[in-house]
Amino acid sequence: MSKVQLVEFAPAENRAERKKFIDLQWRLYEGDKAWVPPLRLTIEDNLDTKKNPFYKHARIRLWNAYRGGTHVGRIAAVVDDRHNEFHGEKTGFWGFFECVDDREVAGALFTAAAAWVKQQGMTNFRGPANPSFNHEVGIQINNFDRAPYVMMTYTKSYYPQLVEAAGFQKVKDLYAYEMPATHFNEKVEKIATMVLQKSALKFRQINMKKFGEEVEHLLGVYNEAWEKNWGFVPMDADEFRHMAKSMKDIIWPEFCLMAENPKGEVVGFSLALPDVNQLLTEIPSGRLLPFGIFKLLGGISPKKKKINRVRVITLGVKKAYR
């Protein structure tokens, strides 16, 4: 068997290798009915060190793995200075991992990424984070016959074995819960109704006509409400605006609820996104142009009834109002 060859590069410096890095998913998951092709522009944005504000405080390195001229794997290594400052750590992250079922290939990728992280002065290595915990995170360990909801990872069933064979140990379980909308807990609903009647708080939908102003309100809640969560890293205004902008066209206002105190201050919010993955299956190439954009925008409206499930992305309340 031929030797594994690695190509190391920075995303902004090698366009050809970056394209291969992105393309690999389509080859590895070809024929997998549960896999949802991501939008290529989303991956490009997550790797864009010039335009994505995440990289104002982070740096990234990429590797492609080849065997006998065939592309067989990829990985990224990330150092997020804000994470390390916030948590008092020296942790580097790996992410965007894709690989054939070959421990030698996986081992070569992890070894290269770990060496780079060590060169950056890091003493811990954790993942996957694509590229951070404010983005997609984790490896799937069961239910491989189920298509993921929006912004959830879907990975090969053999990845846990490859990762553990490389010397990693599980550090945290991340759970996804599912509930039919028609079977909401009646007891919880009654309690919520009672609290709403007695509360001085006002609940309303996000005002999409004042989207920029609303995003500023949400940022303050987000950073305060999530600060004690495992792995959380606060987002600055540029980062939060950038992520909000990427979601704007798929937000259904009735599923983004905000809580205001009597002074009009936003003290809590919840955001559930329509599961656009149900539309992305109709764009197998992952490209919006020339026709993908019409399928996406044409199906996103609730009136089209092409989406019948949502994912709660985030929910938070300021400490004084919990």
CATH number listed for the domain at residues 181-321 = 3.40.630
The pLDDT of residue 134: 92
The residues pairing with 85 across neighbouring beta strands, listed in sequence order, are none
CB 60, CB 47: distance < 8 Å: yes
**Would you say 292 and 279 are in contact if contact means Cβ atoms under 8 Å apart?**
no
Confirm if 151 and 280 have CB atoms less than 8 A apart. Answer: no
Q: Are 150 and 116 in contact (CB under 8 A)?
A: no
Label residue 242 exposed, middle or buried (CB < 10 Å: 0-12, 13-18, 19+): middle
What confidence score (pLDDT) does residue 292 get? 80
- Are 132 and 83 a contacting pair, CB within 8 Å? yes
Distance CA 283, CA 293 (A): 9
| pLDDT string in tens for the chain (322-residue length) | 679 999 999 999 999 999 999 999 999 999 999 999 999 999 999 999 999 999 999 999 999 999 999 999 999 999 999 999 999 999 999 999 999 999 999 999 999 999 999 999 999 999 999 999 999 999 999 999 999 999 999 999 999 999 999 999 999 999 999 988 877 788 888 888 888 888 889 999 999 999 999 999 999 999 999 988 899 999 999 999 999 999 999 999 999 999 999 999 999 999 999 999 999 999 999 998 877 887 887 888 888 889 999 999 999 999 999 8
What is the CATH number assigned to the segment(s) 4-165?
Answer: 3.40.630.30
- Quickly tell me which residue has 């259904």 as its tokens: 252
> What are the residue ranges of CATH 3.40.630.30 in the chain?
4-165
Instruction: Return the beta strands (E) in 138-248 as ranges.
Output: 202-205
**Amino acid symbol at 195:** V
Structure confidence at residue 81 (pLDDT): 98
Cβ pair 95, 51 in contact under 8 A: no
d(CA 264, CA 251): 23
Question: Would you state the structure tokens that stand for residue 308, as one six-digit string?
Answer: 């019948």
SS3 119: helix
The reported pLDDT for the residue numbered 1 is 66
The predicted pLDDT at position 279 comes to: 94
User: What pLDDT, on a 0 to 100 scale, did the predictor assign at position 317?
Assistant: 95
3-state secondary structure (DSSP) of residue 272:
strand
Q: Please tell me the number of Cα atoms within 13 Å of 182 on its side-chain side.
A: 1
Do the beta carbons of residue 30 and residue 132 sit within 8 Å?
no
Quick one: tokens of 248? 């704007």
140/1 Cα distance (integer angstroms): 30
Q: Are 285 and 292 in contact (CB under 8 A)?
A: yes
Q: What pLDDT, on the 0 to 100 scale, is given for residue 299?
A: 87
Please, are residues 65 and 96 in contact by the beta-carbon 8 Å criterion? no
Residues listed for the chain: 322
Alpha-carbon span 302 to 124, nearest angstrom: 45
